[in-house]
Amino acid sequence: MIKVFASVWALLLGMMLLMVGNGLQGTLLGVRGAIEGFSTFQLSLVMSAYFVGFLGGSRLAPEMIRRVGHVRVFAALGSFISATLILYPTIADPWAWTGLRVLIGFCFSGVYVTAESWLNNSVSNANRGQALSLYMIVQMVGIVSAQGLLVLGDPSGFVLFIIPSVLVSISFAPILLSISPTPAFDTTKPMSLLALYRISPLGCVGILLMGGVYSAQFGMAAVYASQAGLSVPQISLFIATIYVGAMLLQYPIGWISDRMDRRLLILSVALMGAISALAGALFGSHFMVLLGVAFLVGGTSNPLYSLLTAYTNDFLEPDDMAAASGGLLFINGLGAIAGPIVTGWIMGVIGPPGFWLFVGVLMLLLSAYSAWRMTRRPAPAVEDTGSYAPITPSSSPVMAEVAQEVFIEGREDG
């Protein structure tokens, strides 16, 4: 893995800086929105708008790259990101923020597609799995590091908005200065959602539910923490703990998944997440309990996305996996758009515990549906399944297809 890191460190550094900028602006908006007096529902619309833009970007960015090339798309979208980050504190209006979030979600999606295609082109089949693992670790380190920056300034001022803008601008340097000639870019037409559902009902339903869970965490965790009365340092630590859990539990869960019926593991992990979230709703007033809940919910929800993807792949032919990944990303995007809106509505009705209640109910539904699906058909033999590939719900179509390639290689090696 050290050799892989040495060959792509500049690309990974650039991606980490992008994740720091993105992670900081997501948390900062939740805190600043509360300071500005935005309602919970208004903030939920702002947070949901990011995923509207992200879904649109994942569909349109490949065509933009084919028309004008990687470098132009990367530079143009990056400039929009930097400008948007500075505009937030100058236009303290929820509807303006909603529009800016759509734009920034679109731009981040396009930037990820571009940078990840360069990363994929820089590694070989032999080390693609290691590169994917490094990339996921870099993403999580970037988001966790972003939370530490939150305590460096006043959320009611401008400095904390300038920092992510600068970081995003700097991130272009290592990426653009280290790339090899721009790779050829092509994407596969997604499989129809009906065909995908018929192949793996659990995969489709689970990905939809986890899209809602992930977007609630990414978009509404800071809103919840502000309403729950946490200080800025506590908010920073709380959100960082979610992603530390996601990073540390991803690999143990993945190791287990390659050695048992994945449906049983999905059921167990989802149930653990549901119990943890419901504990947060009941005992979230105790900060140390809240940190434990954050660790377990983050550590179960993020690996579940990879688990569901791997389970779906178990029923696909290798030639269909790339097409299926597009469908799964679209389903995840639909859940992600709805997540913050529904969370905001529930929090508006019952208060901050509604955040945990929403997450817990979705996890419980996934666990129950997994149990029911276990009665409908037998599991594939463990020796006929592919390897678990770590991937986050925020990945672009490029990384989703890289994960599929790793899965195929694991199946062939098995």
What contacts 182, CB < 8 A, 6 or more positions away? 69, 70, 71, 118
Instruction: Tell me the CATH number for domain 2-413.
Output: 1.20.1250.20
Report the distance separating Cα 267 and Cα 252, nearest Å. Answer: 16
> What's the rounded Cα separation, in Å, for the pair 15 and 302?
19
Are the beta carbons of 119 and 11 closer than 8 angstroms?
A: yes
If you count them, how many residues does the chain have?
414
User: Among 216, 303, 299, 305, which Cα is nearest to 26's?
Assistant: 216
Helix (H) or strand (E) holding 375: none
DSSP code string of 206-256 = HHHHHHHHHHHHHHHHHHHHHHTT--HHHHHHHHHHHHHHHHHHHHHHHHH
Confidence (pLDDT) at 234: 94
| pLDDT score at 210 | 93
Where are the domains positioned within the chain?
A: 2-413
Distance CA 347, CA 261 (A): 36
Q: Report the distance separating Cα 30 and Cα 321, nearest Å.
A: 37
Question: Can you give the pLDDT at residue 384?
Answer: 60
Cα dihedral 96, 102, 103, 105 sign: positive
Supply the pTM of this predicted model.
0.88
Evaluate the CA torsion angle 318, 322, 327, 328 in order and state its sign: positive
If we measure between CA atoms, which residue out of 85, 94, 81 comes closest to residue 33? Answer: 94
Distance of CA 34 to the CA centre of its chain: 24
Residue 75: per-residue pLDDT: 82
CA distance 368 to 319: 31
Label residues 150-175 b or e (16+ Cβ within 10 Å = b). Answer: beebebeeeebbebbbebbbbbbebb
Residue type, 324: A
Phi first, then psi, for residue 192 (nearest 5°) are -60, 145
Q: List per-residue pLDDT tens for the chain, 414 residues long.
A: 566 666 677 778 888 888 888 889 889 999 999 899 999 999 999 999 999 998 888 778 777 877 887 778 878 888 899 899 999 999 889 999 999 999 999 998 888 877 777 776 766 656 666 777 778 888 888 889 999 888 888 888 889 999 989 988 888 887 777 655 555 555 556 677 888 899 889 999 999 999 999 999 988 999 999 999 999 999 999 999 999 998 898 888 888 887 788 889 999 999 999 999 999 999 988 999 999 999 999 999 988 988 888 888 778 776 676 667 778 888 888 999 999 999 999 999 999 999 999 999 999 999 999 999 988 888 776 666 666 667 777 766 666 666 666 656 655 555
Nearest 5°: the CA angle 106, 108, 110 is 70
Instruction: Work out the end-to-end distance of the chain between its first and last CA atoms, rounded to an integer number of angstroms.
Output: 21
Number of helices (H) and strands (E) in the chain: give both, helices first: 14, 0
SS3 of residue 148 by DSSP: helix
